[in-house]
Structure 1
Amino acid sequence: MRSHLALILDPDIGGFVQDPEQQQLGAILREVLAGWGAPDPAAEHAVLRSALMGGCIGVLLPGAQTPLPPIRADLFARYGLPWELGRPPEGGSPGRPDWAHLASG
């Protein structure tokens, strides 16, 4: 993950490298989210990307393991996807996690 971030960050501009493929994929995802009915496709795109990046960090970085079932449950609930799609974890859907307790403490 550190190598990936090092490759996509440009120290000269203090931001992410904006390559054409990344921009094209972002545009496609925003179009999909707009077609899905997102009131603000750009904001929804940021939420989706951050959730996916968080899941990746939890898998790739030793000591930073993140349980995937709650991330999957949140995304599947957010986008109205049936839990049975793909390869769901054993035990059935845990339901959408309640993240409100994190904001209070």
Structure 2
Amino acid sequence: MMNHAQARAFRLLREEIYTQLDEVEFFAMADAPWQEDEEASARTLLCDLVVVVRSVVGLHAEDQYGGCGFCGTAWPCDSIDSIHRTMQDPEAAALAQLPRRAG
């Protein structure tokens, strides 16, 4: 079982990731046309996000035995499956992250 310090560390890490993603999303969704420097920043952010996804996919590459070299589970592991599903249908993936209502 995770102790309080570990739970807090995981929460802070997750919040930092979400904060960075929120900033990118906010920038991308701006109604006003981008200035030249904003367009350059957007291109950089897109490239950075591609590097992040490629890095995660690379970490979870299949090994010589057909397993995930990172997780040690059968390949494709849950991480690869999740990335693939999200890329195929980002809206459905976003909806799946919303809290479910009791009912």
TM over 0.5: no
- Provide the TM-score with structure 2 as the length reference: 0.32
- TM-score, normalised to structure 1, is 0.31
Which is higher, the Rg of structure 1 or of structure 2?
Answer: 2
Give the helix-richer structure, 1 or 2. 2
